[in-house]
Amino acid sequence: MPKPDTLISLEGVSKEYPKLVTGRDRLRTMANLFLRRRAPPGFRALHDVTLRVDRGESVGIIGENGAGKSTLLKVIAGVTRPSAGKVAVSGRVGALLELGTGFHMEYTGRENIRLSGALAGLSPRETSRKSAAIIEFADIGEHIDDPIKHYSSGMVVRLGFAVATALEPEVLITDEALAVGDESFQRKCIRWLTDFRASGGTLLLVSHSMYHVQSLCNRAVWIDHGQVRREGPAHDVTREYLAWHERSAANLPQPQAQATPNNAIPRVLSLWAEDGSGREAHAFPMGTTVTFQGTAFDPHDAPPVLLVGIVRINGTGVCGLHSHDHGYQPVRVSPKHFAFAIRFESLQLLPGQYEFRAHAMDPEGLRLFDTVVVEFTVTGETRDYGVVRLPHAWLPGRGQRPATTP
C-alpha cells in the first residue's frame, strides 16, 4: 500500500505498442481490440517499472532517446494506459509533455487557455481570473490571439508551461520543457520551478541536461530500454550515467584485473586503492586522501621503473608520473617482487569515474611492458566543470588592463 504522502505510485508497470508496419498489421490490431483478443508481442517501451514519488520530492528521469522516459510520463499523467501493472496518482497534476499536447491546433492561444482550464476542472470565472497571469508568463504578445498551428515550437512551450504552472498543481510533470525556448524564458522557468519546490511542490522532470537534474532534483531515476537501471540521489545517478556515456563514447574495453603472466619481462602483479585510513576502497569523497598500492615483478631482481597515471573513464588524461624522475624505487619484499605506493593528498578530482593506470618499465625507463588498471569513483556535489578543482579565489575586479611597461 502506498504511504499517505505518496503522490505517485507505480507497481510492475509495463507498456507495449503493437508493431504497425503494414496495413495488414493495422487491420489485425483493430480486430484484436474489437474481439478483445491478446495482441501479438510488439515494441516494449516499459517493462516492470516500480516507482514511488512522495509529496515534496523532485525526481529527475534520465536516459537515452527511446529509453522509455516520455512513455513513463504519459502513463503517470494518464495520457496512455499501461499494458500491465498498477498506477496511482493523487493530487492535482499539471503535465507538460510533448509539444502541443492538450492544445487544439485550430484554436487560438486565448481559446486554448479556456479549454485547458475547463479540462482541469476550473470554472469559467477561475479560468478568466488566471488568464492574465498566464498570458503575462507566456509573453508571446499579440500571438495569443493567433491559432496554435501558427506558433513556433518555443511559443507553444511558453504557453504550455504558463498554463501548467497557473493551474497550481500539486505535481508538475514536464518533459524537456527547458530544452526549448530562449535563454530568458528558461531562466524564468527555472526560477518558477525553484519556488515551486521551495513551497512543497512535487516535480517529475525528464531532461537530457544533467545540470538541470542536479540543480532541480534531489533524486534521479535512470531508465534504460524501458527498465529502471539505477535510482538514488540525483548527483550519484547522474554521475554514473555520464560515466557510462563517456565509456560508450570512447568505446573503451573493460579494464583488466591484472597483466598477462610473463616471467621474462617486468610487470605489475596487483593494484588497489586505499582511503585515508588504509582500507581498500573504490569510491572517495572529493578532496580526501587516496593512496594507490601495488606489487611489481622484475625477472632480474632489480627495482622496476614505474609509470603511473590517472585518466577519466573516457580516456581523457589527468596526470602522469614517472618514478625514475622522482628518484623513487619500489621496496623489495621477496626475490623479484617489489611493493610500491603513491599517495594523493586532498585529491581534487571532480565527481566522476576514473582509472588509475600503472605500467612496469625496463630499468632505463624507456620500454613499457604492461598496463594494469584500477577503476575508482570520486563522489560529491559540485557544478564545476572539467576534471579537477584548482585552488582559486574570486577577487574584486579592477575593470581595466594594467599599464604596459615600455
> Judging by DSSP bridges, how do beta strands 290-297 and 267-274 pair with one another?
antiparallel
Q: Residue 59: pLDDT above 90?
A: yes
**pLDDT score for 258:** 42
Q: Is the dihedral of CA 331, 334, 336, 342 positive or negative?
A: negative
- 8 with 52: CB under 8 angstroms? yes
Give pTM, 2 decimals.
0.67
Please answer whether residues 41 and 16 qualify as being in contact, where contact means their C-beta atoms are separated by less than 8 angstroms. yes
Work out whether the CA dihedral 142, 145, 149, 150 comes out positive or negative: negative
d(CA 169, CA 374): 48
Query: CA 17 to CA 39: how far, in whole Å?
Result: 10
| Residues in contact with 297: Cβ distance below 8 Å, sequence separation at least 6, in sequence order | 263, 266, 267, 268, 269, 304, 336, 337, 338, 360
E strands in 18-117:
43-54, 58-62, 84-89, 93-96
Domain spans in the chain, listed from the N-terminal domain onward: 6-249, 267-379
The CATH code of domain 6-249 reads 3.40.50.300
Q: Which of 106, 208, 218, 104 is nearest to 163 (CA)?
A: 104
pLDDT tops 70 at residue 285: yes
The angle at the Cα of 20, spanning 14 to 24, to the nearest 5 degrees, equals 135
Spatial strand order in the sheet of 331-334: 267-274, 290-297, 337-344, 331-334
Q: Say what percent of the chain tops pLDDT 90.
A: 35
Contact 206, 68 (CB under 8 A): no
Taking only the tens place, the pLDDT of each residue in 121-138 is: 788 888 888 898 889 888
pLDDT at residue 2 greater than cutoff 80:
no
Average pLDDT of the residues of the chain: 84
Residues 152-205 pLDDT 10s? 878 888 888 888 878 788 898 888 766 656 667 777 888 888 888 889 999 999
Query: What pLDDT sits at residue 254?
Result: 45
Q: What is the mean pLDDT of residues 18-30?
A: 61
Query: What tens digit of pLDDT does each residue of 298-351 get?
Result: 988 988 889 999 999 888 889 999 888 888 999 999 999 999 999 999 999 999
Q: Strands 171-175, 6-17: parallel, antiparallel or unpaired by DSSP?
A: unpaired
Per-residue confidence (pLDDT) for residue 310, from 0 to 100: 94
Q: By CB neighbour count within 10 A (0-12 exposed, 13-18 middle, 19+ buried), where does 38 fall?
A: exposed
> pLDDT band at 292, cuts 50/70/90?
very high
**H/E stretch holding 158:** helix 153-166
**Three-class DSSP category at 238:** helix
Does 403 have pLDDT greater than 70?
yes
What are the DSSP E strand ranges found in 64-128? 84-89, 93-96
pLDDT of residue 296: 93
- Of residues 37 and 294, more confidently modeled: 294
Please state the rounded mean pLDDT for residues 38-50: 77
Compute the C-alpha angle 164/166/172, nearest 5°. 40
Q: Topology of domain 267-379, per CATH?
A: Coagulation Factor XIII; Chain A, domain 1 (2.70.50)
The reported pLDDT for the residue numbered 248 is 74
Per-residue pLDDT, 160: 84
Residue-level pLDDT at 138: 86
pLDDT digits over 238-269, tens only? 888 888 877 776 665 544 434 445 677 889 99
Closest CA to 101 of 40, 176, 26: 176
Q: What is the mean pLDDT of residues 348-359?
A: 93
Determine the residue type at 354: Y
**Exposed e or buried b per residue across 64-100, where buried means at least 16 C-beta atoms within 10 angstroms of its C-beta:** beebbbbbbbbbbbebeebbebebebbeebbbbbebb
Cβ neighbors of 353 (< 8 A, separation 6 or more) are: 239, 240, 243, 246, 247, 312, 313, 375, 376, 377, 378
Strands of 144-242, DSSP E = 171-175, 202-206, 219-224, 227-233
354-380: average pLDDT: 84
Q: What is the DSSP string of 301-368?
A: SSPPEEEEEEEETTS-EEEEEETGGGT--PEEEETTEEEEEEEETT--BPSEEEEEEEEEE-TTS--B
Considering the chain, what percentage of its residues have pLDDT values greater than 70? 85
